[in-house]
Chains A and B, each alone.
Chain A
């Protein structure tokens, strides 16, 4: 029995004790999970959530941010109204249709209980899914794969980028794909080369040989799939020059291979200590690229959009007050975005209190009122049918019992 079987057996055992009626794929077979996907977009550098989902109804927002606040709806470069209190940054305009048809939700004042203001620790905790614990050998997105049915596809998990991030490290092998080379010929397309290297890397049973085999399988598939895409790109569509390109490519891979279960992409450039701008400017430019990419991805998924949940998250938020340089420093609570055909959207979840100093975390930051693990757990429960045992494997020291987000995926 390997580790994965062990985990599954454990899941089955604990659920059989609790009786039928609990959700859990281990019972009902895998049918309901057919084609279900989870995509995580991680914004490295701490996105300024207060300038993404803006509490424009709170005058303190404007007092705290004299030069970088986004004006109320209707004014020049003002927010797009969501519910008469919150507004969305105008840069998110490409996502407005999804808000309107209720497939886009936000969770405000969300984050990690470990209030470090170090980017690197905070990202580490958020990717390992075990805040405060430094010795964790796997990331939570990989642990999600351990709880999903195997599809015998080398592309169960896809990482966009050259290096494997923390969140995807763990027992299940994941394909890393670099948009620059995907679909291009490699030396290993030559049989004589492939054969010799194949022999050299075979039968070693170590991390290197596993990476080699995984890479070879994934390469074959991606080469085939993306050569079609490359043709289309020649007709004018930019390939992977921006997140827009990633969005299109990812959508394409998902459609062509229904066995892909999770994907991850990280984007940088959100550490806006200086001159971040308001409705327009540095942060808005980043958000525009991101929103266009997400809209492309959603559109590219076609019918699969209803089977997909896309989560956008960042390691922590930024200070409520702007700093001395038209920017913001490292803060605490932030906003998470949840997008997908079956998302209970058009709604802002979580609780962002008024931004008065005495209510802020250490009198300066948005306090965290929803643990980020609650968001992921709620999605895992409703979207991926995770039962208690799978949830415990996902976030071992959490004990999810917050029901406030149960509607975030429509049943």
Chain B
């Protein structure tokens, strides 16, 4: 088996490649803005109207907050009271902390030069930013590029079909040759490791070094929102394909497209068992056939599709709706071995999706009070249209984004603003993000350095800040596992939380300090840091020499200073 973890040397200097094209793009953009001058007053009126309606909505939102659907909703609202804008000198750091995986000094200088607004606009158009070759190569790995069917055939059990066949009746006493059986097990494990290595390398290297940082952050956000896990059966073959084809292309696109893509990818259909979801009382395909696997409804995906992916748990659906949506979803499954050869091109082959009319319930359904005419595959499109347009969905998604990007208990005013952009733009994620990043709530001084980093963000931000050269991602994955956030291994469909409550624990904090100490002393087996000064890390951590942390650092041995900064209370937050 080829080894996955090839030695790679990429450092943050790759960002240098990007600097010039990005800057020239920014210049073009500036020209466009200038031309748009006369329209400004109309735009200002629009903005004011929007802010008025947002205020009205906010009042309602505050009332709703107690029973509102937000994950871990808490009415005790830290952000009540008037907004105090963050000080100018903190703005660049705050922005980089939130829309990237942590600033480097080079980033700070660059954004200071171009201005926060231009940087936001640039990050919202990831296609405009050129990707360095050193990163592109990770995206060509089979785990990301091959179709689910091909991955199944070349990496799954079937890849060893001949071997298994040959071993049958070859063992002592006429049974299966146990040694060969064990060898196959080992080869399979190697295959899974290989695919996992490709997928995690591609994720971590891009998160660390891609200049399209917001795209990386959004990809993680949406993967987590539409979570699947390698721990569920065949998904260990498909997680890479899922993220690359069903999540990443839509991370700043239309929510409806994202929802549709996840609903048609084999990884999701397998993870939430829908591939077996079958019309109840379906006549057997062959007389006398008993099929335990495909014998009736399975509510799993239907429920999570509404509870976690769209409406939110208090979004207004009932158990009856779960059953109706499960009926809509009957027959939507995974390409079978038999039908791989006749797979049409496009989404079906790329996503490993297949619709089996024989298992579909063709009766009419009533979802959320509306009748969906039974007619086959289009019913799902109609249901997804309805769900993605539903006001509960706008609100639920807006809450999650606001919580992720601003505060554990986000401002209800902001949530309403986002929800109204979501509804107005037909679920355009880019526009929702633009509203968010340009809102006064985002820039509220109380949000600066106020969120506790998830393990994933903590890891990445320390490596980015220290210009680390990552030679082996395995120890990094080990750290994430230790911290309770193993990559692609959140078993439950709700994904990982991103609040302080979820991640701050005594044991976890000590592990971070141990990690920081090793990284700062250049004793981390995965990553080497080079030529980074204490002052630089002070700057990215937002620590001033007069702060308590600054004083302790100054009075400590030089060899310990960077470790102390990475383990400081300030660096635990962002």
Residues of A within 8 A of B (CB): 44-45, 67, 116-121, 124, 134-135, 137, 159, 161-164, 169, 173-178, 180-181, 186-188, 192-193, 196-197, 199-201, 203-204, 206-209, 211-212, 214-216, 218-219, 268-269, 271, 273-275, 323-327, 329-330, 362
Kindly state the separation between the CA atoms of A330 and B273 in the bound complex, as whole angstroms.
13
Contact across chains for A274 and B506 when beta carbons are under 8 A apart? no
Tell which of B293, B300, B503, B510 touches A273, judged by Cβ atoms closer than 8 Å.
B300
Contact across chains for B505 and A162 when beta carbons are under 8 A apart? yes
Contact across chains for B482 and A178 when beta carbons are under 8 A apart? yes
Tell which of A124, A135, A324 touches B276, judged by Cβ atoms closer than 8 Å.
A324
Given contacts A117-B303, A119-B492, A326-B292, contact A200 B569 (CB under 8 A): yes
For chain B, give the interface size range.
Answer: 35 or more
Contact across chains for A175 and B506 when beta carbons are under 8 A apart? yes
For A174, the chain B residues whose CB sits under 8 A away are 506
Contact across chains for A163 and B508 when beta carbons are under 8 A apart? yes
Tell which of B294, B313, B506, B517 touches A215, judged by Cβ atoms closer than 8 Å.
B506
Q: Is the interface of A mostly helix, strand, loop or mixed?
A: loop
CB<8 Å pairs between A and B, sample of 27: A118-B313, A135-B74, A137-B74, A159-B505, A162-B482, A162-B505, A164-B501, A173-B506, A176-B505, A178-B507, A187-B517, A187-B518, A193-B560, A200-B564, A204-B548, A208-B509, A209-B569, A214-B506, A219-B507, A323-B297, A323-B298, A324-B277, A325-B295, A325-B298, A327-B298, A329-B299, A330-B299
Chain B proximity of A105: nearest CB distance (Å): 30
Interface assignment of B85: CB less than 8 Å from any CB of chain A = no
Q: Which residue of A lies closest to B559 (CB)?
A: A192
Residues of B within 8 A of A (CB): 66-67, 71-76, 273, 276-278, 280, 292-300, 303, 307, 313, 319, 322, 452, 482-485, 491-492, 494, 500-511, 513-514, 516-518, 548-549, 552, 556-557, 560, 563-564, 567-569, 572
Tell which of A204, A214, A268 touches B492, judged by Cβ atoms closer than 8 Å.
A268
Chain A proximity of B522: nearest CB distance (Å): 14
Contact across chains for A180 and B509 when beta carbons are under 8 A apart? no
Chain B proximity of A208: nearest CB distance (Å): 5
Q: Which residue of B lies closest to A209 (CB)?
A: B569
Kindly state the separation between the CA atoms of A205 and B198 in the bound complex, as whole angstroms.
44
Contact across chains for A325 and B296 when beta carbons are under 8 A apart? yes
Q: Which residue of A lies closest to B573 (CB)?
A: A208
Q: Told that A215-B505, A326-B293 touch, could you supply 6 new A-B pairs with CB distance under 8 A?
A: A116-B313, A196-B564, A207-B500, A208-B452, A271-B300, A324-B280
Contact across chains for B504 and A192 when beta carbons are under 8 A apart? no
Kindly state the separation between the CA atoms of A326 and B556 in the bound complex, as whole angstroms.
63
Contact across chains for A135 and B552 when beta carbons are under 8 A apart? no
Kindly state the separation between the CA atoms of A181 and B508 in the bound complex, as whole angstroms.
10
Kindly state the separation between the CA atoms of A159 and B71 in the bound complex, as whole angstroms.
22
For A135, the chain B residues whose CB sits under 8 A away are 66, 73-76
Contact across chains for B482 and A324 when beta carbons are under 8 A apart? no
Contact across chains for A200 and B548 when beta carbons are under 8 A apart? yes
Contact across chains for B510 and A117 when beta carbons are under 8 A apart? no
For B295, the chain A residues whose CB sits under 8 A away are 324-326
For A162, the chain B residues whose CB sits under 8 A away are 482-485, 505, 507-508, 511
Contact across chains for A201 and B569 when beta carbons are under 8 A apart? yes
Kindly state the separation between the CA atoms of A212 and B506 in the bound complex, as whole angstroms.
6
Kindly state the separation between the CA atoms of A325 and B293 in the bound complex, as whole angstroms.
5
For A164, the chain B residues whose CB sits under 8 A away are 501, 504-505
Tell which of B319, B491, B552, B567 touches A269, judged by Cβ atoms closer than 8 Å.
B491
Tell which of A186, A269, A323 touches B299, judged by Cβ atoms closer than 8 Å.
A323
